[in-house]
Amino acid sequence: MPMKVYYSETSPLSLGVLMVLKRLDIKCDLESVNLFAGEQRSPKYLEINPRGKVPALIDGDFTLSESRAIAAYLCNKYGAAEETLYPKDPEKRAKVDMMLYVGEWIHLEIEDYLNVTNVFTKDEKTRDENLPKLHEAFKQLENYLEKDKFMTGPNITIADFFGLNSILYLGLNEFDDYGKYPKMVEWMKEMKKLKCYAEVNRAGMENFGTLFRGKLLQNAK
């Protein structure tokens, strides 16, 4: 049975995994999980990921969830030709792991600001009071990018893939307050030149953005 990846087009963490799949040219079955319909909480899916989150992966009799762990697994198992994406050298790899954790922090600050679930389920707004925390996270990322072209050094790694997709998630609310972060802007521009970036379909996320902004307008009335 071919490897299967469960994902959602509206999940930035899924898009990070999809970029890794494209970059490593891994052929697998992709199964879309409709988060709006609650498919992530179906008994069938909870057997795959008891947390009820996408992405997840099944490779033979091996099942894995957590986007960053999936990306690391794909590199370990199928990424021999692309050593720098998740380097084997302990120190280089530790740096990538560190930035995957830092990236998770940034992602959570983005989610705390966007407040997506409550916008749809409780008619709330974005949580603008969380913007200072978001800017603190951006300041930290800018500091890293002042030292290196990419998040962990001169080479692109999986940490950059997740960092990029998390930040692009802010596009849901057309966030563009990047004036204080010239290195981040440059880095995003560079990342968007990647073939694997162009190969991942972002139409679902764009439609989701339209829906999100429409709902925000409605909630403001």
Ligand X SMILES: N[C@@H](CCC(=O)N[C@@H](CS)C(=O)NCC(=O)O)C(=O)O
Q: Which residues of the shown chain bind ligand X in the complex (CB under 6 A)?
A: 11-13, 35, 40, 52-55, 66-68
User: 154-172: buried (b, 16+ CB within 10 Å) or exposed (e) per residue?
Assistant: ebbbbbbbbbbbbbbbbbb
Q: How far is the CB of 149 from ligand X (least distance, A)?
A: 25
Query: Least distance in Å: CB of 117 to ligand X?
Result: 7
Least distance in Å: CB of 67 to ligand X?
4
Check: CB of residue 157 under 8 Å from CB of residue 85.
yes
Q: Please answer whether residues 57 and 70 qualify as being in contact, where contact means their C-beta atoms are separated by less than 8 angstroms.
A: yes
Please say which residue, 49 or 152, places its beta carbon nearer to ligand X.
Answer: 49
Q: Compare residues 145 and 158 and give the one whose CB is closer to ligand X.
A: 158
Q: Which residues contact 99 (CB under 8 A, 6 or more apart)?
A: 144, 151, 152, 157, 159, 163
Judged by beta carbon, residue 138 or residue 162, the one nearer ligand X is 162
**CB distance 16 to 22 below 8 Å:** no
* Residue 13 or 20 with smaller CB distance to ligand X: 13
Q: How many residues can be counted in the chain?
A: 221
Which single residue is written with the structure tokens 């978001």? 134
Pick 23 or 68: Cβ nearer ligand X: 68
Question: What secondary structure letter does DSSP report for 41?
Answer: G
Bond preceding residue 182 cis, omega within 30 of 0: no
Show Cβ contacts of residue 71 under 8 Å, excluding neighbours closer than 6 positions.
16, 17, 20, 86, 158, 161, 162
Shortest separation between residue 179's beta carbon and ligand X, angstroms: 27
In the complex, the smallest distance separating the C-beta of residue 218 from ligand X, rounded to whole angstroms, is 22
Minimum CB distance to ligand X smaller for 11 or for 152: 11
Residue 196 beta carbon to ligand X: minimum distance, rounded to whole angstroms = 19
